[in-house]
Amino acid sequence: MRSYTLIAPAKINLYLEIIGDRDDGYHELAMILQSIELADQIEIESNDVQLIRLRCDSKEVPMDRSNLVYRAADLMVSEFPDSFATYGGVDITLHKRIPVAAGLAGGSTDAAAVLVGIDLLWKLGLTRSELEELAAKLGSDIPFCIGGGTAIATGRGEKLSELLGLNNTYIVLAKYRSLEVSTPWAYKTYRSLYGDAYIKDIENLTARKNAVHSGDIVKAISNQHASQVAEKMHNDLEKVVLPEYPQVLKLKESFAKYDILGTMMSGSGPSVFALCESKDKAEEVKINIRNEIPDPDLEIFVTKLINHGIQVVS
C-alpha cells in the first residue's frame, strides 16, 4: 500500500481586523496569518475497501463526518471519483500536538494535509492554487495552511498575498486545555456590539482591504523588525472574548509582566501568545508563567515562526 507522512503546522494571527459584512453572511476580514513550528503529524495510506477510515490519538477529536479531515477526504472523493475508483479509499491517522479548539487552525491544517496527501496518493498532480481552491470549499483558514508561511488574508480569509516572514522569532503559546471559545459566537457578538461601525459601501470596503497591504505591521514584517511587529499586533476579537473569559485576559496580563516583545490572543482564542526575541527568553517566560499559574489544565508551548505550511516527510 502507498502511504505518506505529512507535517501540518499550526497558525497564529499577527493581525485580525473585522471590516464589515459580506453578502454570503461571513465577515469581511483583513488578517496577517503566520505559521508556527507546533504541528500535527498525519499518516495517510491507500486501502482497498473504498472507505475513508480515520484514527486519532486524542479523545478530543471527533471521528465522524463532522471532522474537517474526514470532510477533506470526502471532498476529494467527490471531486475525483475516477481516481477514487482506481486507487481506493484512504486510512488517515492523526497524531495531535496542536491543542484542540484553540484558535490555532488545528483542524484546518490537518484538513490541508489530507488534501495534499490524497493528491500524492492518487497522483493527481494538482498545483498549489488548485489545492487552495479546493481548500476554500471547506473553510476559510485551510487555503492558507496549504502553503503557510506569512500572508495577508482578506475576503473571509481565503484571498492570500504572501509576505517575507520573520526569521528566528520565538513565541510562548498558552491555552487552558478545558477552555473553548466558539468562533461563531465571537463573530456574532462582535457584530451585535460593533456592527454599526462596519464599512457599508463597496468602494470604502475595497479601499480598506487594500490598505492593509501597505500598513505599518506589513512594513515591519518586511523589514524583519520583530519588536515593531509586536507593537502593531492587533485582534478585534479581543474586544468580546477578553471581557467574557477572564482566564484568557489573565494569561495576556501575565505575559505582559515579563520582558517580551508583545502579547496577543490568536484568532477567536482562547490561545494567547507572547512574541520573544530569542529561544532562551521564550523558555524563561514559559517558566515564569508556569510558576505564576501552576494550574495543570494550562498547556504552555515554546515554538517559533516558520516560513512554510504542509510538508511531506516520507
Residues classed as catalytic? 11, 141
For 44, residues 6+ apart whose C-beta sits below 8 A from its C-beta are 3, 4, 5, 6, 90, 91, 92, 93, 113, 114, 117, 118, 121
Interior angle at CA 39, CA 147 and CA 186, nearest 5 = 80
Q: How far is residue 30 from each of residues 177, 210, 213, 311, measured CA to CA in Å? A: 28, 9, 9, 26
User: Would the annotation count 266 as a binding residue?
Assistant: no
User: Would the annotation count 101 as a binding residue?
Assistant: yes
Coil, strand or helix at 44: strand
User: Would the annotation count 148 as a binding residue?
Assistant: no
User: Would the annotation count 116 as a binding residue?
Assistant: no
User: Would the annotation count 105 as a binding residue?
Assistant: yes
Q: Cα separation of 247 and 183, whole Å?
A: 17
User: Would the annotation count 240 as a binding residue?
Assistant: no
User: Would the annotation count 220 as a binding residue?
Assistant: no
User: Would the annotation count 100 as a binding residue?
Assistant: yes
User: Would the annotation count 246 as a binding residue?
Assistant: no
User: Would the annotation count 103 as a binding residue?
Assistant: yes
User: Would the annotation count 85 as a binding residue?
Assistant: no
| 121-125, long-range: CB < 8 A, 24+ apart | 121/2, 121/3, 121/4, 121/44, 121/45, 121/46, 121/87, 121/90, 122/76, 122/80, 122/83, 122/84, 122/86, 122/87, 123/83, 123/87, 124/80, 124/83
> Burial, 111: exposed, middle or buried (Cβ in 10 Å; 0-12, 13-18, 19+)?
buried
Residues annotated within the binding site for ATP are 99-109
